[in-house]
Structure 1
Amino acid sequence: MSVNEPGATAPGGPRKARIDRVLFSQEAIAGKVRELAERIRQDYAAVPGANGTGGHGAPLTVVGILKGAFVFTADLVRALGALDVPLQVDFMAVSSYGTATQTSGIIRILKDLDRPIRGQHVLLIEDIVDTGLTLRYLREHLMAQDPASLRACVLLDKPERRLVDVPVEYVGFQIPDEFVVGYGIDYAEQFRYLPYIACVRLEPQ
């Protein structure tokens, strides 16, 4: 989840938005997903008990964060499957309160995991990490459930906005401090359907 989620809404309702420019094309995103999947496959192949290695390990548990990461999660899961990585998938949904373009760090779980993750190797999938507050909260929430390991994979990283240090083991792209949409990421439930990632401009109130 990012500040693009509908839980963060400016007083008076969302402003009109328009596409300003494309940051990453559909082809660039697809290439990055394949690259991330290969890195993940290699890393978990070296983890004792992960991915069924040695015939006794549990499959990797992928946890996608709704709604912004649903497209990224689906594509990454398919890419991992194509590399013969055994896995299972679960989802969480959280809400972060604040304005339309800035989170307050006050986070509420709207949907928790369907299955326990105790003893599982867990890969958390997020669309954007900016302040780091939401990702830190999610990591703490999941670590409290005693997984065997926990790593995070984010498609987009806004390092300029970081307020807290939080581990991010896999990063797709670093982006400037601009508002982005597409590839599952929205503004006021618009633009999720775009196959690319673009910057948007918000019209004055």
Structure 2
Amino acid sequence: MDLSAVSKDIERVIVSEEDLQKRIKELAAQVDKDYAGKDLLLLGVLKGAVMAVADLSRALQRHVEMDWMAVSSYGSGTKSSGVVRILKDLDRDITGRNVLIIEDIVDTGLTLSWLKANLESRGAANVEILTILRKPEAAKVEVNVKYIGFDIPSDFVIGYGLDFDEKYRNLPFIGVLAKHMYS
């Protein structure tokens, strides 16, 4: 789907398809270098990280394994309670493994902080984080993110795995959703 199909829904594009793909290749080169000679398990956080995991894994110049988790931080309305529950757990044991969590976006950091601690408690040798987007202004807890695609402002963004009401995930760019779409 291209911009013309959703132009009335999007205020502006903040990361183009070209910039995304260029940055994914740069991140993959750094991951290849950092994990040279080591095993690596890519752990995608569903559903938003599907595009990032697919593109990153294809850009890597090494074998990797993949697994997936789905976690939810729930509460009343749009506000998180800080309580995280696992909706889909790992399919394999990560004891002694190098795990790279792949996220679409880091905003408050609450869920990701919990997830990293959870994986470390399972005996992973190393747990690092790669995110396509980070909203530094929205952070409520400090999360050490080793690989960052782009820092962005605290706008409501969609595309490249990010959704609004399960729509827009398949856009090849990242855009700011127009306020009339959700207010």
TM-score between both structures, scaled by the size of structure 1: 0.81
The separation in 1 between residues aligned to 2:77 and 2:179, in whole angstroms, is 10
CA deviation vs aligned residue, 1:58-79 (integer Å, no higher than 9, x gap): x311100000111111100111
Aligned-pair identity in percent equals: 48
The separation in 2 between residues aligned to 1:66 and 1:149, in whole angstroms, is 21
- Choose from 3, 16, 25 the match for 1:25: 16
Give every structure 1 segment of 4 or more consecutive aligned residues whose post-TM-superposition deviation is greater than 6 Å: none
CA RMSD of aligned residues (A): 1.7
CA deviation vs aligned residue, 1:28-80 (integer Å, no higher than 9, x gap): 100000000001111112xxx61xxxxxxxx3111000001111111001111
- Choose from 65, 82, 98 the match for 2:45: 65
1:144 aligns with 121
Secondary structure in structure 2 of the residue aligned to 1:103: coil
Q: Does 1:107 align with 2:84?
A: yes
2:12 partner amino acid = R
2:46 partner amino acid = L
Secondary structure in structure 1 of the residue aligned to 2:67: strand
Conservation of the 8 A alpha-carbon contact between 1:101 and 1:179: no
Paired residue total: 175
Secondary structure in structure 2 of the residue aligned to 1:35: helix
The separation in 2 between residues aligned to 1:153 and 1:185, in whole angstroms, is 15
Structure 2 residues not aligned, in runs of 5+: 1-7
State the 1:201 CA deviation. Answer: 2.2
The separation in 2 between residues aligned to 1:76 and 1:139, in whole angstroms, is 20
1:77 aligns with 57
CA deviation vs aligned residue, 1:145-178 (integer Å, no higher than 9, x gap): 1111111000000000111111100000000010
2:13 partner amino acid = V
1 or 2 for the larger relative contact order (CA 8 Å, sep ≥6)?
1
State the 1:92 CA deviation. Answer: 0.2
Secondary structure in structure 1 of the residue aligned to 2:178: strand
The separation in 2 between residues aligned to 1:99 and 1:19, in whole angstroms, is 27
1:195 aligns with 172
